[in-house]
């Protein structure tokens, strides 16, 4: 019984130390993220964009400037990112999108977007509202019968 208590006590001490380390690094990352957001908001500008195409692709394939691809951490280089090919005035550019913005924008539409460097942070459609992103059905909802199917079977 005494060894059991010792083992449980050691495990609790290790978990407490682990929790303290995670809290420390979490606070540090949160401060860094707040600074980055403040910097992005400071350099943000509103532009009128025409969305040519949007895709999820690796940064190495996205035709971004070499300086951008070199500054990205190595583990992020092979992840697929939401990228939009846009026309700003006479120039055609490739910009990285924020995840909710990527879900909202559609190809071949004109939007007013807030752009910070090569990052689109928000977008509003110029002619009419942006379409709401489609919600995915859950796994079990596929097996449930819809009301239309039930009523058609009762009538027929």
Kindly state the greatest CA–CA separation across the chain: 78
132: phi then psi, degrees, rounded to nearest 5: -70, 140
* Spans in the chain with pLDDT lower than 70: 128-135, 142-156
Segments making up each domain of the chain, as ranges: 1-38, 44-125
Q: What is the pTM of this model?
A: 0.63
Residues 118 and 98: beta-carbon distance below 8 Å? no
Give the model confidence (pLDDT) of 76-118 as tens digits. 878 898 999 999 989 999 999 988 889 888 888 899 999 988 8
- Looking at 2.40.50.660, 2.40.30.30, 3.40.50.360, 3.40.190.80, the CATH number of the domain 44-125 comes to 2.40.50.660
pLDDT at position 112, please? 92
């Amino acid at each position: 019984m005494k060894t059991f208590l010792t083992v449980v006590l050691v495990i609790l001490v290790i978990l407490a130390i682990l929790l303290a380390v995670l809290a420390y690094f979490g606070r540090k990352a949160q401060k860094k993220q707040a600074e980055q957001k403040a910097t992005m908001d400071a350099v943000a500008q509103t532009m009128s964009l025409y969305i040519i195409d949007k895709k999820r692709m690796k940064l190495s394939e996205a035709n971004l400037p070499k300086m951008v691809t070199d500054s990205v951490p190595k583990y992020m280089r092979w992840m697929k990112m939401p990228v939009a090919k846009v026309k700003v005035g006479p120039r055609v550019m490739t910009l990285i999108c924020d995840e909710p913005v990527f879900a909202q924008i559609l190809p071949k539409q004109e939007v007013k977007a807030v752009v910070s460097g090569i990052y689109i942070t928000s977008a509003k459609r110029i002619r009419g509202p942006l379409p709401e992103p489609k919600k995915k059905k859950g796994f079990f909802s596929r097996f449930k019968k819809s009301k239309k199917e039930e009523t058609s079977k009762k009538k027929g």
